């Protein structure tokens, strides 16, 4: 693992960019089947990218203020790693809703289209987290536990001298599995919002569970993430229940 690929390309920044490009390609390809013009997806991608980067970075900086209190400009060096998934999700959702309402486009229909792409994006970005050494787990004696280099975030942490759960890899593989599941569901008849709801339920449920083996220096961060994860599950269940009550 290395924070830089070829010695000069930030691994996290590369995987973040790759996740956006692959997700955009996938959504544009899928949108054609639902007669949604490509320019709508391209414009939406800009708003989503803006929301994800700003939301993810701001929330990370807030919960890791000690890392930036003496280096404010470091907040803007996103290629060095340090994004909170929930912050990016909320930021992207808010910006996306703003754009779709402005264009009078069904939010749930588009949410269904991009849900598999979000899961696939998680596959790439969590690999970036692993290479960067952030978002790591608690000590483990399992044969696949990882001892991170001293120069990365995990290695320099209070538990960095021990083999740790590679929670980034767990999350990456989960994202890939969720992508295949949602992408397949998208190809069969469904009500608007069903795919997005399933994403919220599975993603929130997984995050709630894996947080118990992720390392948190601040207990408050753990509690907040747990609350948000459960909130996603609740929202997803509500959407499914409302859809079930709708008449065909």
Residue 238: CB atoms within 10 A of its CB come to 13
What is the model's pLDDT at position 182? 97
Residues 19 and 25: their CA atoms lie apart, in Å, by 10
The alpha carbon torsion through 162, 164, 168, 169 (nearest 10 deg) reads 120
Sign of CA dihedral 167, 229, 80, 114: positive
Query: Which positions ≥6 away from 177 have C-beta within 8 Å?
Result: none
The alpha carbon torsion through 217, 220, 226, 229 (nearest 10 deg) reads -100
In angstroms, what CA-CA distances link 247 with 91, 191, 240, 242, 243?
A: 33, 11, 13, 10, 8
Range of the domain at 10: 4-245
Contact 114, 27 (CB under 8 A): yes
C-alpha closest to that of 217 among 32, 66, 78: 66
The pair of three-digit structure tokens given for residue 210, joined into one six-digit string: 């894996």
What is the model's pLDDT at position 55? 87
Give how many domains the chain has, as a whole number.
Answer: 1
Q: Using 50 as the pLDDT threshold, list the residues of the chain that sit under it.
A: none
What is the model's pLDDT at position 176? 97
**Residues 100-153: pLDDT tens digits?**
988 888 889 999 999 999 999 999 999 999 988 888 999 999 999 999 998 888
**Residue list, annotated binding site:** 126
What is the model's pLDDT at position 34? 84
What predicted TM-score, i.e. pTM, was given to this entire model?
A: 0.84
């Amino acid at each position: 693992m290395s924070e830089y690929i070829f010695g000069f390309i930030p691994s996290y920044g590369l995987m973040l960019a790759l996740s956006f490009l692959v997700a955009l390609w996938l959504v544009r390809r899928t949108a054609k089947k639902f007669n949604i013009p490509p320019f709508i997806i391209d414009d939406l991608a800009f708003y989503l990218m803006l929301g994800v980067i700003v939301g993810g970075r701001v929330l990370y900086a807030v919960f890791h203020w000690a890392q930036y209190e003496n280096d404010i400009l470091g907040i803007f060096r996103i290629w060095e790693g340090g994004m909170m998934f929930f912050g990016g999700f909320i930021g992207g959702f808010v910006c996306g809703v703003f754009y779709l309402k402005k264009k009078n486009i069904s939010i749930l229909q588009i949410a269904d289209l991009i849900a598999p792409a979000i899961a696939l994006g998680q596959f790439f970005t969590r690999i970036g987290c692993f290479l960067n050494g952030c978002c790591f787990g608690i000590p483990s004696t399992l044969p696949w536990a990882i001892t991170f280099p001293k120069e990365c975030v995990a290695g320099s942490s209070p538990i960095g001298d021990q083999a740790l759960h590679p929670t980034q890899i767990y999350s990456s593989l989960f994202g890939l599995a969720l992508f295949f599941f949602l992408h397949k569901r998208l190809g069969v008849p469904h009500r608007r919002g069903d795919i997005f709801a399933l994403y919220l339920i599975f993603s929130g449920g997984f995050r709630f569970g894996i947080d118990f083996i992720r390392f948190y220096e601040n207990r408050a961060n753990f509690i907040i993430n747990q609350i948000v994860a459960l909130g996603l599950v609740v929202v997803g269940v509500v959407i499914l229940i409302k859809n079930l009550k709708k008449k065909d």
